Amino acid sequence: MFGHILNFKLKENKVFINFETGNAIIEVLSPSIINVFSPLKYDDHYSKAIENRTIEKCDITATNSDNHIEIKTEKLTVKIFDDFKVDFYDKMGNILCEDYRENREPFERRGNGYELLEKEGHKVDSQNGNHKIEIIKKMLGEEKFYGLGDKTGPLNKKGYGYEMWNTDDPSAHLESHKALYKSIPFFINLRKNSAFGIFYDNTFKTYFDLGKENSNYYYFGSDDGNLDYYFIFGPEFDKVITRYTNLTGKTPLPQMWTLGYHQCRWSYSPENRLMEIAENLRSNDIPCDALYLDIDYMDDYRVFTWNRNAFPKPQEMIQNLKKDGFKLVTIIDPGVKKDKGYSVYEEGLKNNYFATDKDGIPYVNAVWPGDSLFPDFSDSKVRNWWGNNVKSLMDNGVSGIWNDMNEPASFNGPLPLDVQFKNDGNPTDHSEIHNVYGHLMAKATYDGIKNSTKKRPFVITRACYAGTQKYSTGWTGDNQSLWEHLRMSIPMFLNLGMSGLAFTGADVGGFGYDCTAELLCRWNQVGCFTPLFRNHSTAQSRDQEPWAFDDETLNISRKYIKLRYKLIPYLYDLMWKGEQSGLPVMRPLVLHYPSDENTYEINDEFLFGSNILVAPILEQGKKFRAVYLPKGEWIDYFTKEKFEGERFIVKEAPLDICPIYIKAGSVIPNYPDQSYIGENKIDELILDVYPGNGEYLHYEDDGESFNYKNGEYNLYKFTTENSNCFSINIESLKSNYSAKYTSFKFIINATNATSIKLNDEFINFNTDGSKISFSIPAKNGELKILS
Ligand code: MIG
């Protein structure tokens, strides 16, 4: 590619290299993060994913070896050869990642009748062509690949090829789909207990092939943009995610209510239908925090308007819903109806806020409102304007915004690649903006909500790029009421989580097609552990609310929605911890057990944090399944049976049972029953304890404001130890939020006690089968369970 190395120079944290026909920069962002860059299109990064490019000061050397340049940090050695071949070694000299020196050699597709097949309507997969930028890495053996956002198919992406081009494909999502709504060009490579990640920060259409066309190498590439990727070393698996999110941002702590159950449908309209849903939720004793308005609440699909026939007094209606504990979330599409006199259109037009064709004429395509214009979210002025429009909805009392159709989707064919965007002074076209269109719309929405409410914004978006997690949650788009889609959602969530998006969810029950009673039961059992827990379905599909089938379905749905509410403080803790670590809520087993090969390909189980393992039933009629338990002792959540890990067990799971296991040594904070978050002030925190050795941090704050950023929160540490007797140490690490718990109610599972001491004084307790329980003031102390 670049010819011979001519010379190089180390300046601060960068090594500038001149080749015969190109130049490059190797930049050390930290001892474990190296940026490999060549300004093929632009002189700088202009990253849409990385907002705070922080450089960690560290020791760097760059020396000339006979045929290469050698750059060393405390953790890595990077060797750069002629033709800009780059190899990475750990400090012991083990190869981690090596550029492939041969040419690509794709397998051959044999057979005739290519045209006929296509004519007959078959999708014929063509070979990925050659690309202007191609980074080809040698397959060293035993690699597993994870990440890449919302791609379909199994957890481990080895042997598959994908594209990054945000796509709204209304057909049923299959393993063969190359792209869906999100483009997150980041993957993790795990080999022999040593992991690294690669983030290819390029927003043009991008290709990933992880050993599909040839098992000797894997590659990524694109036809435009810069050569710009980050090598992110672990070697620990979880550190790769932490470091990737140090670059692209963490999923922030949300308002607590957003973690409740959400009920949605296309569409709850008019107002009395919405109110009927609200009443049904309460009368059926289904806890719920959020209701949604899909596109029909608008006046003829004009964004930021209300259909006053269906919703005559939105503000009053929203206030009434709030009295009953419901928040309202409204959908917003990017397309602005081309319509004289409509203020959003007129204002956008006057200020040149819309994307244009090459002649500067606003580009028109059809979406729900008919002919529409597309806001140029690449421009900060437009984002501010959009944010102010969002503010008008928030001022009406709306609590969150749901961004749809922001790939962007369009009815009259896709937006041409030469549609023009202003891009804050670096004008460019759709080929560069497409994959960040939804990302930038989410940013505009986040900022608009934050400015108007001063609370933690709640945004849901369909299209994403790397880093969208800073602004928005993501849902997986138009799935269908198919068992296959329930099954597929699990590796999808896990890979999204490893790609930085900790707050995701799928339409529970399935969007397209008609749900069945059994499918809804099993889907709620998964939804219970999905950070975004929203039941949603399309227009014309059968009703899919928990009461829409029969009593059994209602009871089972209620059981798991209530379990979710019980686990809210645990989930909230995970979000708070995730804001620092970047670790997702739903985790593949490999994330915590990367040296256990049995975990590498588990597609149908996941960890909810590190303490809870969920092994849902994902097939119709199935009443049992094999469950893999990793190292350690695990306790069946419902039966309290104990199991030693590192083995498979068979678990019976009638329709009302989702197999759940708690790691010994866990302290799981629980809330009492509530119909919505904040219904009651929680004075007594319940601590569900599973004896063993462990440590747990519990976080408490006001659940909505940014005051926690100024230290207004409480932090409790629970340390459990199982030696002579089982003991729990309670320690307050921080105590700056004043409305705090007054007492702790401990439930200690799978334990017998003759007596219990708190700081050496005997206390009263109840015994119930193999469980004991007692309440104590919420203070520091040492508990001893004596048996
Ligand atoms: O063309 O707003 O994915 O959740 O209900 C369909 C109507 C547009 C697609 C979204 C879906 C939403 C629907 N939307």
Pocket test for ligand 1, best of 150, 294, 372, 507 (most atoms within 8 A of CB): 294
| Ligand 1 lined by 266 (C-beta under 6 Å) | yes
* Mean local confidence (pLDDT), 747-771: 94
- pLDDT > 80? residue 348: yes
- Residue 478 annotated in active site: yes
Pairwise CA distance, residues 623 & 617, whole Å: 8
Fold match between domain 1-110+126-248 and domain 257-332+384-412+426-573: no
| Ligand 1 lined by 478 (C-beta under 6 Å) | yes
Residue 477 CA: nearest ligand 1 atom is 3
CA–centroid distance, residue 555 to ligand 1 (Å): 29
**Percent of the chain predicted with pLDDT > 70:** 99
* Mean local confidence (pLDDT), 399-414: 98
Instruction: Say what the pLDDT of residue 681 is.
Output: 96
- pLDDT > 80? residue 643: yes
Nearest CA to ligand 1 atom 11: 478
Residue 168 CA: nearest ligand 1 atom is 3
Homologous superfamily of 257-332+384-412+426-573: Glycosidases (3.20.20.80)
CA–centroid distance, residue 404 to ligand 1 (Å): 7
Label residue 436 exposed, middle or buried (CB < 10 Å: 0-12, 13-18, 19+).
Answer: buried
**Fold classified for 1-110+126-248:** Immunoglobulin-like (2.60.40)
- pLDDT > 80? residue 96: yes
CATH 3.40.50.880 for domain 681-786: no
- List, for residues 232-262, the tens digit of each pLDDT value: 999 999 999 999 999 999 999 999 999 999 9
- List, for residues 262-282, the tens digit of each pLDDT value: 999 999 999 999 999 999 999
Instruction: Say what the pLDDT of residue 124 is.
Output: 67
Instruction: Say what the pLDDT of residue 114 is.
Output: 67
Q: Residue 109 in 3-state DSSP?
A: coil
- List, for residues 423-462, the tens digit of each pLDDT value: 999 999 999 999 999 999 999 999 999 999 999 999 999 9
Contact 267/296 with Cβ under 8 angstroms?
yes
| Ligand 1 lined by 294 (C-beta under 6 Å) | yes
User: Sorting pLDDT into bands at 50, 70 and 90, what band is 127?
Assistant: low
Task: Looking at 681-723, list the stretches that DSSP marks H as alpha helix, in order from N- to C-terminal side.
Answer: none
Instruction: Say what the pLDDT of residue 118 is.
Output: 72
CA distances from 27 to 12, 56, 677 (A): 9, 11, 46
For the chain, the average pLDDT equals 97
CA distances from 157 to 174, 211, 430, 501, 628 (A): 14, 9, 28, 18, 21
- List, for residues 590-609, the tens digit of each pLDDT value: 999 999 999 999 999 999 99
* Mean local confidence (pLDDT), 354-379: 98
- pLDDT > 80? residue 751: yes
* Mean local confidence (pLDDT), 480-502: 98
Helices (H) and strands (E) in the chain, counts: 13, 52
Contact 506/494 with Cβ under 8 angstroms?
no
Residue 368 CA: nearest ligand 1 atom is 1
| Ligand 1 lined by 295 (C-beta under 6 Å) | yes
CA distances from 728 to 599, 691, 716, 750 (A): 31, 9, 12, 15
* Mean local confidence (pLDDT), 767-783: 96
* Mean local confidence (pLDDT), 306-329: 98
User: Sorting pLDDT into bands at 50, 70 and 90, what band is 109?
Assistant: confident
The one-letter amino acid at 466: A
| Ligand 1 lined by 150 (C-beta under 6 Å) | no
311, two tokens: 């919703």
- List, for residues 645-704, the tens digit of each pLDDT value: 999 999 999 999 999 999 999 999 999 999 999 999 999 999 999 999 999 999 999 999
- Residue 299 annotated in active site: no
- List, for residues 110-122, the tens digit of each pLDDT value: 887 767 777 777 7
Residue 267 CA: nearest ligand 1 atom is 5
**Active-site pick, 168, 238, 407, 605:** 407
Instruction: Say what the pLDDT of residue 115 is.
Output: 72
- List, for residues 459-477, the tens digit of each pLDDT value: 999 999 999 999 999 999 9
Residue 462 CA: nearest ligand 1 atom is 3
- Residue 518 annotated in active site: no
Structurally, at CATH architecture level, domain 586-662 sits in Sandwich (2.60)
Strands (E), 180-326: 182-183, 186-191, 194-200, 206-209, 217-222, 227-233, 261-263, 290-293
Dmax (CA) of the chain: 85
| Ligand 1 lined by 331 (C-beta under 6 Å) | yes
* Mean local confidence (pLDDT), 410-417: 98
- List, for residues 393-405, the tens digit of each pLDDT value: 999 999 999 999 9
- pLDDT > 70? residue 387: yes
CA–centroid distance, residue 546 to ligand 1 (Å): 21
Instruction: Say what the pLDDT of residue 119 is.
Output: 72
| Ligand 1 lined by 477 (C-beta under 6 Å) | yes
The domain limits of the chain are 1-110+126-248, 257-332+384-412+426-573, 586-662, 681-786
